[in-house]
């Protein structure tokens, strides 16, 4: 006997499509600042609901981020590139040599 409904696995009803940022924090153990950073850099996908001023996190992207072998994209590099330690040492040596030359009569 069929009920007219599509055959859906019973566990599919338990998996939400999206969760709030607070629920994502609870599920993942990350803080809200980290969740917002992951949304910004693309590691998590935001779901917008028209007419509602709330940002939801795609449950699929959250599960992908938390999986042991995450396929989530790496965050993009922001800001100034770090200088190598050797470059910094060379720069400090040059500064100290300049100050020694100025101090000598």
Who wins on pLDDT, 105 or 3? Answer: 105
For the chain, how many structural domains are there in total? 1
Of the CA atoms within 13 Å of residue 73, those in its CB half-sphere come to 11
Helix runs in the chain, H state only? 21-28, 32-41, 59-66, 85-103
- Across the chain, the runs of DSSP E, i.e. the strands, are 18-20, 46-48, 55-58
Q: Find the domain containing 55 and state its range.
A: 15-69
Residue 92 lies in a domain: no
Residue 56 lies in a domain: yes
| Residue 1 pLDDT > 90 | no
- Per the CB < 8 A criterion, the answer to whether 24 and 62 are in contact is yes
Mean pLDDT within 8-12: 53
Residue 1 lies in a domain: no
Mean pLDDT within 73-87: 61
| Residue 27 pLDDT > 70 | yes
Among 35-39, 40-44, 73-77, where is mean pLDDT lowest?
A: 73-77
Residue 54 lies in a domain: yes
Question: What band does 8 get if pLDDT is binned at 50, 70 and 90?
Answer: very low
């Amino acid at each position: 006997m069929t009920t007219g409904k599509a055959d859906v696995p019973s566990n599919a009803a338990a998996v939400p499509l999206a969760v709030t940022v607070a629920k994502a924090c609870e599920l993942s153990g990350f803080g809200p600042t980290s969740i917002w950073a992951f949304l910004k850099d693309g590691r998590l996908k935001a779901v917008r609901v028209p007419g509602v001023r709330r940002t939801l996190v795609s449950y699929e992207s959250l599960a992908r981020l938390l999986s042991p072998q995450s396929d989530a994209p790496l965050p993009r590099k922001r800001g100034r590139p770090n200088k190598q330690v050797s470059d910094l040492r060379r720069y400090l040596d040059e500064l100290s040599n300049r100050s020694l030359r100025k101090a000598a009569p």
